[in-house]
Structure 1
Amino acid sequence: MSSRPALARLDDPASDCGPTDAPAVATTPTMPPADGPPDRSARRWWILVVLAATQLLVVLDGTIVSIALPQAQAELGLSDSQRQWVVTAYALAFGALLLLGGRVADYWGRKRTFLLGMVGFGVASLLAGFARDGVELIAARGLQGAFAALLAPAALALLTVSFPSGRERNTAFAVFGAIAGVGAAVGLVLGGALTELADWRWCLWVNVPVVIVAFVAGKLLVAESRAQGDNRYDVLGTIVVVLGLGALVYGLTLAEHSWTAPGTVACLVGGVALLALFVLVESRVAQPLLPLRIVRDRVRAGAFLLQAIVGALMIGALLYLSFHLQVVMGLSPLRAGLGSVPMTLVILVLAPVVTTVLLPRVGPRPLMIAGPLVAAVGLLLLCRVTVGGSYAAEILPSQLVLGVGLALVLVPLQNVALAGVAPHDAGAASATVNAAMQIGGSIGLSVFTTIYAAALPTAAAPTPADLVDGYSAVFVAAAIAMALGAVLAALLIRGPKEKLLPSGDHQAVHLG
């Protein structure tokens, strides 16, 4: 359902400020200084295997549960709002804590953080699989997201230390990034297979054996490293931004019932106020979670906003395509998972073409305007879905068009977001790109759920025709959001193409 391009360029990673679609997504690439002793033996390739498995785990967990949601909803009696939060809790916790996770990895120790994140992720997956109701499942998914925010930056930091330079570094990052590109598609297919052949709970339990193997291998193979110097955590900033985002997303969820209810208004106003307070806090602390100079740049701010809109599409809107395939068209979970793969394949095929041919020739701006518009066309094609329609006639064309649009926008987006970043801000900027994807997905899914609910009849149980109306309303809203993204790109992404592309030989991987 979501897919991420493999690689984006990044400036010198020698950063003293810690901080991973897609996409897709996912990443805090805290790009740390190579201050630990690099592992020059052959075992670092085994380290790559372990870290790549971790990357796959984090990325596919954003989508693997999506295919299982109809069965989970039926068994646990989830409301539509709770169903949404099973996805939102993971993405919101992951995105909101990503920057902090990178700092913890750099300051506390990258190996130690990796091992802690791995254990926590495994325990959270086990708890989620044993959930007896919606509250337990949502809480465990949020816990998964929190530990993913430790795992992702720690894994990327360890990769950077293990492969400090040269051709081997490029190979390692290419493998790591390719895993990010296919992880979402693997999650959809694996989730469909496990749900159909076993039980939806295995979409969560499948993490546990991977965690055990990765923990043991990480313990034996990986060397410890950490950043040097004055290392202080921005605890106040972290608390404020988590509470602010949580209140905002919860308020949008409550808006499904009423925009004017006191609880809805209080959450929305409180969320905005807390986010404004976060900006004030970040302007005054010595080592901010998010240095404001990163987002003051007009071009970079435009890239972050566009990334959030793409996240809303990939994490939010396309979840409803999965529902349509299973609930209305009656496809099995496995066939529904396979039905979402063509978009990912198109992105994977076109991403190298965009990177090596289009981007150097025309620059990022035309692609970042055209990409969202093409994706909007793909979403409008989805509005033609009917109760008795076929996959080949109604779904496949939109999947192919969406793949083209997302390939055009995602590759240059990563480049533009990291262009002109000072070396000491590289980690934080890269983390912000990926956090924007997850947070945009959380907010987008809440908004789309409200739009979906408003399109359904209030009295009787919805018929398949009513569900199609609700899904179509979501696709129209997502198309409008993508068109808005094209407008933002036209207004904010300005300058010669040489200025809009980062320099340097280092790479960042998009995890999220």
Structure 2
Amino acid sequence: MSTVTTTQLSHESVDLRDVTNVIPLETERQNPSDGTTISKARQATTTFQLSGLNFLSSAVNGIILVSLPTLVAELNLPEQLHVWPISVYGLAVGSTILPVGSLADAAGSRLVDLVGCFSMALLLLASGFVKSGEQLVAYRALQGVAMSMHLASSVSLVTQSIPSGRARNVAFSCLGLSQPLGFSVGLVLGGVLVDTVGWRVGFYLTGGLSLLLSFVGLWALPKSGDRRTASEVVHELKRKMDWVGSLLASGFMVCLSYFLALLECLRYHAVVFRGTQVDGAILQFVLSRGTRVVRNGDVHPTSPQPCRRHNPQLHHWLVCPQGLCPMVGGRLVDSLRRRPGSDGARQAGVAILVQPLFAQLLQPISGDILFTVGLIIVSEAFPEDTQALAGAVFNAASQFGTSLGLAIMQVVAGVVTKKAAAREAPIDALLLGYRASFWAMTGFMVLCFALGLVGLHKTGKVGNKKDD
């Protein structure tokens, strides 16, 4: 009897040792830094820091948009570079974010994000001291590179610090909400600054706040338990990163966006897409971001102010509601997402129609629903050790869509305006071109709807809490 009892105890002790060997590994995966669960306060601070940088970068876009006529005149910016302080930023982000995402997975998302945050803050401060338009364009391009580090790392940092479920969905919603909300605040602030202390103060203010948030990130952002040496990072980059593919993709985005901006006409070619869940989400979001150039302000400086004879201080109130309604849309995403078939939330956002007043109020909700649910889909489709690359892929689609949409809308509006100039007054011809760009964006949204039906029909529920 004693022999049997001893054997049973020995067997049970082996089972207990196996269990204790498994539990710390799972706990370490959730929080590699110290093996404990991150507090809710720190999770909230992490979300606030990541969203705050998005907010400030978008606020700068709004400030530049409203102050662009004054900025162009003061810095003697050449005519061919009038829109480059806005467009070069998105172009730089979209062109560098793919290799940066792979770098973040290899070197650590926290390190890459902090480098991007501090660089962004210093470049914003430096932009307030520029003496020429070319210097501003160069600083804006460098800001895009710095921001790509933050955007690619933010998705990985959220997945590292916040467990899957509603809390993570809210964090992703905050990342999406911060951009239009920051742009809206930037419009209001830019209109006030132009008529008072000047546009340079906007760079000083956003740069100082970005520097403060960067120091907050030193404490809040989760540390990686897998500390690697420089040689190990280089080895990981050689082994995991597709350098040829990343360089080709980045070069393609640069060349296509640049040459589209120089074309006098645009010819459409039929392209057939083979959709999967991830492909459908990304392709739909690329085209939808092309329609969001209005909300991001890329079309506004060249048309509505001359057409309506609005001064900058009045103009920013006309587009300000576009940044307020996403606050409501972000709250709706989680409840819609939990219903069977999360693509229903995306299609509801795509299906919003255009009317002058209601478009200003409701159109931003479409893009933010696409952003939040699409980001959840893409993050769940990628493995845990490539979450930074997942964020890079999704944000590359976002920035590329913005840059490409700007170029296409410029071509459409320019061609229609040029044809109408012979028979219409200059302001009326300009307004016709502006309306033509809206019809083109409406066509893109119809195409987005079709892509969503094909690519997301098997998506099902996403963003639910996983019981490991």
TM-score normalised to the size of structure 2? 0.75
Indicate the residue corresponding to 2:461 in structure 1: 501
Q: Which has the higher contact order (CA 8 A, sep 6+)?
A: 1
Query: Cα–Cα, structure 1 residues 366 and 214, in superposed 2: closer, same or farther, change >3 Å?
Result: closer
Would the aligned equivalents of 2:166 and 2:463 in 1 still touch at CA under 8 Å?
no
Deviation at 1:471, TM superposition (A): 1.0
Would the aligned equivalents of 2:105 and 2:385 in 1 still touch at CA under 8 Å?
no
Equivalent runs, 1:471-486 vs 2, <5 Å = 471-486=434-449
Name the stretch that deviates more: 88-97 or 154-163.
Answer: 154-163
Equivalent runs, 1:279-290 vs 2, <5 Å = none
Query: Cα–Cα, structure 1 residues 231 and 505, in superposed 2: closer, same or farther, change >3 Å?
Result: farther
Equivalent runs, 1:434-445 vs 2, <5 Å = 434-445=395-406
Which residue identity is paired with 2:118? V
SS at match of 2:298: helix
Indicate the residue corresponding to 2:87 in structure 1: 88
Would the aligned equivalents of 2:123 and 2:143 in 1 still touch at CA under 8 Å?
yes
SS at match of 1:187: helix
Task: Tell whether 2:319 aligns with 1:371.
Answer: no
Indicate the residue corresponding to 1:252 in structure 2: 260
Query: Cα–Cα, structure 1 residues 425 and 340, in superposed 2: closer, same or farther, change >3 Å?
Result: same
Q: How far apart in 2 are the matches of 1:169 and 1:412?
A: 12
Would the aligned equivalents of 1:36 and 1:161 in 2 still touch at CA under 8 Å?
no
Structure 1 unmatched ranges of 5 or more = 1-13, 15-31, 261-267, 269-294, 382-394, 507-512
Q: Deviations over 1:357-379 (max 9, x none)?
A: x44446344554453342xx31x
Task: Tell whether 2:430 aligns with 1:467.
Answer: yes
Equivalent runs, 1:13-412 vs 2, <5 Å = 34-37=31-34, 44=42, 49-78=48-77, 81-155=80-154, 157-158=156-157, 160-161=159-160, 178-180=177-179, 182-219=181-218, 224-225=223-224, 227=226, 231-232=236-237, 233-256=241-264, 298-315=276-293, 319-321=298-300, 323-356=302-335, 358-361=336-339, 363-374=341-352, 377-378=353-354, 381=355, 395-403=356-364, 405-406=366-367, 409-412=370-373
Q: How far apart in 2 are the matches of 1:365 and 1:43?
A: 32
Deviation at 1:58, TM superposition (A): 3.3
Q: How far apart in 1 are the matches of 2:155 and 2:377?
A: 21
Q: How far apart in 2 are the matches of 1:407 and 1:162?
A: 23
Deviation at 1:89, TM superposition (A): 1.1
Q: How far apart in 1 are the matches of 2:260 and 2:447?
A: 20
Between Structure 1 and Structure 2, how many residues are aligned? 422
Which residue identity is paired with 1:476? W
CA RMSD of aligned residues (A): 3.9
Deviation at 1:222, TM superposition (A): 5.7
Query: Cα–Cα, structure 1 residues 253 and 33, in superposed 2: closer, same or farther, change >3 Å?
Result: farther
Q: Which protein is bigger by CA-based radius of gyration? A: 2
Would the aligned equivalents of 2:291 and 2:441 in 1 still touch at CA under 8 Å?
yes
Would the aligned equivalents of 1:371 and 1:408 in 2 still touch at CA under 8 Å?
yes
Q: How far apart in 2 are the matches of 1:336 and 1:146?
A: 30
Structure 2 unmatched ranges of 5 or more = 1-24
Would the aligned equivalents of 1:194 and 1:200 in 2 still touch at CA under 8 Å?
yes
Q: How far apart in 1 are the matches of 2:45 and 2:72?
A: 40
Task: Tell whether 2:417 aligns with 1:456.
Answer: yes
Q: Percent identity?
A: 25
Q: How far apart in 2 are the matches of 1:348 and 1:166?
A: 20
